[in-house]
Amino acid sequence: MEKLNEAKNRLHKTTEEFLEAIDAICKDYESKHKPEFKAGRWIVTASCNEVKRIKEINGDIIKYDDGCTHTNWKGFIRPATEEEIESHLKKVCGEKGYKTGIKLKSINVGEEGRIYTIADTYDFKYDSVDDCIRIVTPQEEWIEGCSNPSIYQKGKFAEIIPDKKKRPETRDEFRELINHITLRYFDDVLIEKEMDDLLDQYDI
């Protein structure tokens, strides 16, 4: 009887040690794979299955780029997949009017204001590293080594240029246009195509 009790105790201790080891493994896994929610991250809401980008988190209140807020959000959101983000952003870009024939000012870092016209040969692609939707352009259309302009980048959308701006009529309007030209091209090189694109915005 005594040996039987000893065996039971050993089995009980072994079981406890085994369960403790399993628990430690699970906690270690959770700590390494626990989703990190912070500004700039994309999530999916459990209630409406909506893809949103986090603007800021303040305790139990989370704010998104689209202006919506969410209270007691923990447990009710999950990280969005790259495919979900790309699908969402392409849909939004379509709703905003980014399509063939539209002129826009790129928001790429280092070349803000560069003018592009979307062609039907271009493709839209999501870049998760820079959190942007790029217009994939053929290499022969690259300008001064720059390519693949962004129409969306980290919460911002590129400005769509109207078909024509009114002709400058006042002194201030002419000064603004001249300043834009001189500031943009003062640095030795005058890029003829870009100058034409700039002036073509105006009914001149």
Residues 118, 85 share a domain: yes
Residues 56, 39 share a domain: yes
Among 56, 80, 104, identify where a domain stops: 80
Assess contact for 114 and 194: CB atoms under 8 A. yes
In which element (H, E) is residue 103 found?
Answer: strand 103-105
Residues 86, 75 share a domain: no
Domain count, the chain: 3
Domain span holding position 128: 81-161
Residues 87, 58 share a domain: no
Q: Which residue has the tokens 């986090």?
A: 54
Sign of CA dihedral 129, 130, 134, 140: negative
Residues 67, 101 share a domain: no
Q: What local confidence, expressed as pLDDT, does residue 36 receive? A: 84
Residues 120, 88 share a domain: yes
Residues 34, 92 share a domain: no
Q: What local confidence, expressed as pLDDT, does residue 131 receive? A: 92
Assess contact for 104 and 118: CB atoms under 8 A. yes
Among 80, 98, 125, identify where a domain stops: 80
Assess contact for 123 and 133: CB atoms under 8 A. no
CA distance 123 to 120: 8
Residues 69, 131 share a domain: no
Model pTM score: 0.63
Digit-by-digit pLDDT tens for the chain (204 residues) are: 666 666 666 666 676 776 666 665 555 544 555 678 889 999 998 878 899 999 999 988 999 998 888 888 888 889 999 999 999 999 999 999 988 888 888 787 555 567 778 888 888 899 998 899 988 877 766 655 556 788 899 988 988 887 777 777 787 887 777 777 666 555 555 566 666 766 777 776
Residues 103, 157 share a domain: yes
Left, alpha or beta for 38 (phi > 0: left; psi -120 to 50: alpha)?
beta
Residues 65, 89 share a domain: no
Residues 123, 93 share a domain: yes
Q: What local confidence, expressed as pLDDT, does residue 148 receive? A: 78
Assess contact for 105 and 114: CB atoms under 8 A. yes
- The angle formed by the CA atoms of residues 158, 159 and 165, to the nearest 5 degrees, is 160
Residues 96, 68 share a domain: no
